[in-house]
Structures are given as structure tokens and as C-alpha cells.
Amino acid sequence: MKKIILLFYFITCMQAAFSQDKTADSLQDRLVNTASPIERFHLIDNKLRDLLSNSGMVDSALSIQLFQIAIELKSDSLLATSYNRIGNYYSVAKGDNTTALEYYFKALPIAEKTKNKRRISSIYFDIAEVYSYLQNNEEHIKFARKGRDNLPDKSHPLYYFMLVQYQANVALYFIKTKNVDSALYYAHALEQTCLKTKKILTEYSSMHINGAAQAVAGKKDLADLYYKKAIALAPALKGSIGKLRFGLTYIPYLINDRRFEEAKEQARQLLVNGKEFNNNNFRLLGAGFMRQVSDSLHQTDSAYYYARMEIAMTAQIHSQNNINKLQALAFNEQIRSIEEEAKQAEAEQQRKQNIQYALLALGIITFVILFLALSRRHITNTKVIQFLGVVALLVVFEFLNLLLHPFLEKITHHNPILMLLALVCIAALLVPLHHKLEKWATHKLVEKNKQIRLAAAKKTIEELEKDNS
């Protein structure tokens, strides 16, 4: 009930925050002219993805429309996407980490149910980013690696878009933990991947992350070079959230380089924009950086003021209620993950047993057919061979289905139509082979029966000749 109330609060309150620009008007025109709900959903989702990858912003009203269409179509795949986008809104636009995680963890089991790796990896990377804001490095890297383990295939059109998120998360983790070699490695890999995405925000992020990595390595000239490249790209960004992330690496660099006035201006802008967007994460970071700069400049009053602000923001973000909710969410996800792993292990074990049973059945049937076809002692009806041949064909088909099912799921991305076509192709190969083997077995059986009957006839004639003599 609480989640429903929260969702409707989101719907009623956030629609007022939506302001349209020319691009939004164009999108609205396309939506009006598109009758199909699924087409409308993909139009909106593509727009939200472009906003995230170009400006770092999330549109609340479009997220609401996604959710409404998903509910209307009763689609798990679409519902997972809409929950993911709502989580993006709370995390990126508002800095509400607890509510963002609540929606991410709500989307995750639905995405796993649909086995959509693109969506699963996206949710894991988004969770990792939230834990990065919370300064929880171990959870940050844990969920980033889970996202890596669920990356879509390289053939997927969004593979590099997802890979960028992994490399950025891991590079930032190693920068924060001062692991120089790994920070440089992943920052360089991120730079190379960003060349393939051709997105201004990813290139901008790559530049300042590489700058931070070079700074950790003590290479000031290279750090300056990368940061200047990022600053040159900044005017091309449409939104401010992407620029705020720049300050998270640049301000500590300026402070360490004793460029306090520049650091102060960057920190002030971070704080102002954090207040403007009502984003608690950036407000807290802005206040913290302002305190550090004021301390360094020996501005006691200002340092005290920003320290008080930092304490208040920390209390708001890390209140006991929020901590309890975060711990509960993380615990529930851990339990769900353990249960899911157990189910997968059990299913895999069952699949192996079924393969063994199918092999055993196939071996028995094959032995019986060969015995009946090649035995020289018993006359056997051809219909028995035909019946056993059909049974053998079904067992072989089931065996191949069990054996190839995981592979088929992977290459068809769980598409039921493609799965069916693949199985039909397998059957099309098996049936002619079955006919040839059945014809061979029947021919052998007829020849064997003729020989048995001929031998019996000869024996009878010999006995009659003995009796007559």
C-alpha cells in the first residue's frame, strides 16, 4: 500500500515539473500520430535514453507515460523498463537514493524474469551509481560487476552504451580507492569505447574520468590536458546534471593542486545547481567542497557555515530511517539473489538428469531395434520396428532439445518464434535421417525374416525326405 501511495504521489506531483521544449513538442506530435501503444512506449523510452546519454537528465512526465503504457499492456518487460526510468528520475534528478533503490530493486526481478540482459545490466549499473553517491565503495563495485556479467551480446545495438557504464563505474571506483594501475586501465578503456558511442556526454565523462585517473597517478600535465578537453566540451551539453558530475572529480583535483579560488567557484556552482535541481547528493557534495576550500583559505566563518550545512544534509540523506530502508532493500535483494541462484542450480541439475534419462532411453530403444533387426533367431513384425523407430525419433528430438536449449535461448534472446523455428529446423534434419534408418532397419528385418523362413523351410523339407526314405 505504501509503494502505491508513493507511486501516485510521484505521478501527481512530478507532472507539474514538466516543461516542454521544441524537441518535446516534436515528440508529442509523433506520439499523437502513433496509435500503437507499444510504438508509443519505444518512442518515449528512446527519448529518455537520449536525454540520459546526451544531457544526463530524466523527464518525469515521460517516465509517467512509460509506466501508464506498461500497466495498460500488462507487459513485464515494459514494466521493468518503466520502473528503471522512475528510479533514474529519483536518482539523477532528485538525488533521492532510497526511493531510487526501491524502484531499481523492484525492476530487477521483473527484468530477470524476462531475461532481458540489456535491462538487467542497466539496472545493476544504476544501483552501482547510487552506492557510489552513498560512498559505499564495496557495494558500488559489487553491483557494477553484476552489470558486467549481464551485458548483452556485442551484436546488440546498445552493447557499447552499456559497456561505457561499466567502465565508468569501475574507473571511478579505482580512482576513489587510489588503485593507480586499474584506474588508468579502465579510464583508457572507457576513452576507447566512447569513440564508438559518439555521444557528447559519454565523451565528456570520459575526459574528466581520465583526468582524475591521471591525477591519481601523479601525472599533472596529462590530468590538465584531459580536464581542459572536458571543459571545452561542456558548452555542447544541453543539461546541467552531466556538468555536475564533472565537479566531483575536478574540484578535489583543484584542491590538491592548491588552486583554491578555482575550486571555490566550481564548488559554489555545484552547490547552486544542487539546490536548483533539489538534488541532495550534489548539495551535500557542494557543501563539503565549500567547507574544504574555506578551511584551506582559513575562512573560519565560511568553513563553519558550510560544515553546518554539510552536517544537516548528511543527516537528511543518512537518517536512521533511510539507513534502515537501505539495509532492508539490500538484505531483501541478497536473499532474492540467493534464492534465484538456488533455483537456477536446481533447474540445471534437473536438465542434466533429463539428458541422462533421454540418453538411457535412447540407448535401450536403439539396442532393441538393432537386436530385432539383426537377430537371426526370431521372426519380427515390421510394424514393431516402425513403432520403436518413431519412439526413438521423439527421444532423440527431446534429447537435442534439452542439450541445445540454453544455447538456443542465448542466440535467439528468448524469442519464442525464433526458438520454434530453430526446433522446426532440427526436426527437419532429423525426420529424413529417421526415414533412412527406418528403411535400413526394415530392410534388414525383411531379409532376416526371409532367411529364417527359408532355413525353416529347408529344415522341414529335409525332415520330410528323411521320413519318406
* pLDDT tens readout for residues 221-271: 999 999 999 999 888 876 656 677 888 889 999 999 999 999 999 999 888
Question: H/E/C letters for each residue in 374-417?
Answer: HCCCCCCCHHHHHHHHHHHHHHHHHHHHHHHHHHHHHHHCCCHH
Highest mean pLDDT among 87-101, 285-299, 455-469: 285-299
Q: Average the pLDDT over each of 59-63, 127-131, 241-245, 370-374 and give the range with the smallest value.
A: 370-374
CA 377 to chain CA centroid, nearest Å: 63
User: What's the distance, Cα to Cα, between the start and end of the chain in Å?
Assistant: 105
> What's the rounded Cα separation, in Å, for the pair 338 and 30?
44
Q: Which amino acid is at 286?
A: G
Residue-wise pLDDT for 67-116, tens only, equals: 888 888 888 999 999 999 989 888 887 778 888 898 999 999 999 988 89
Question: For the residues 12-27, what does the mean pLDDT come to?
Answer: 45
Highest mean pLDDT among 11-15, 21-25, 41-45, 213-217: 213-217
| pLDDT, the chain, mean | 79
Q: Is there a contact between 210 and 188 (Cβ–Cβ < 8 Å)?
A: yes
**Predicted confidence band at 131 (pLDDT cuts at 50, 70, 90)?**
very high
Q: Report whether pLDDT(15) > 70.
A: no
**Predicted confidence band at 59 (pLDDT cuts at 50, 70, 90)?**
confident
pLDDT score, position 1: 45
pLDDT score, position 185: 97
N residues, the chain: 469
Q: Where are the domains positioned within the chain? A: 1-151, 345-468
pLDDT score, position 207: 95
> What's the rounded Cα separation, in Å, for the pair 345 and 351?
10
Residue-wise pLDDT for 263-276, tens only, equals: 999 999 888 888 77
Q: Report whether pLDDT(128) > 90.
A: yes
Would you list the DSSP string of 339-352?
A: HHHHHHHHHHHHHH
Q: Report whether pLDDT(24) > 60.
A: no
pLDDT score, position 216: 93
> What's the rounded Cα separation, in Å, for the pair 97 and 281?
8
CA 293 to chain CA centroid, nearest Å: 40
Q: 10 Å Cβ neighbour count for 441? A: 21
DSSP state of 368: H
Q: Is there a contact between 318 and 133 (Cβ–Cβ < 8 Å)?
A: no
pLDDT score, position 382: 61
Its sign, for the CA torsion 130, 135, 137, 138, is negative
Grid cell locating 282: 550534489
Q: Report whether pLDDT(352) > 80.
A: no
Q: Which residue has the higher pLDDT, 118 or 198?
A: 118
Whether domain 1-151 has CATH 3.30.420.40: the reply is no
Q: Is there a contact between 267 and 80 (Cβ–Cβ < 8 Å)?
A: no
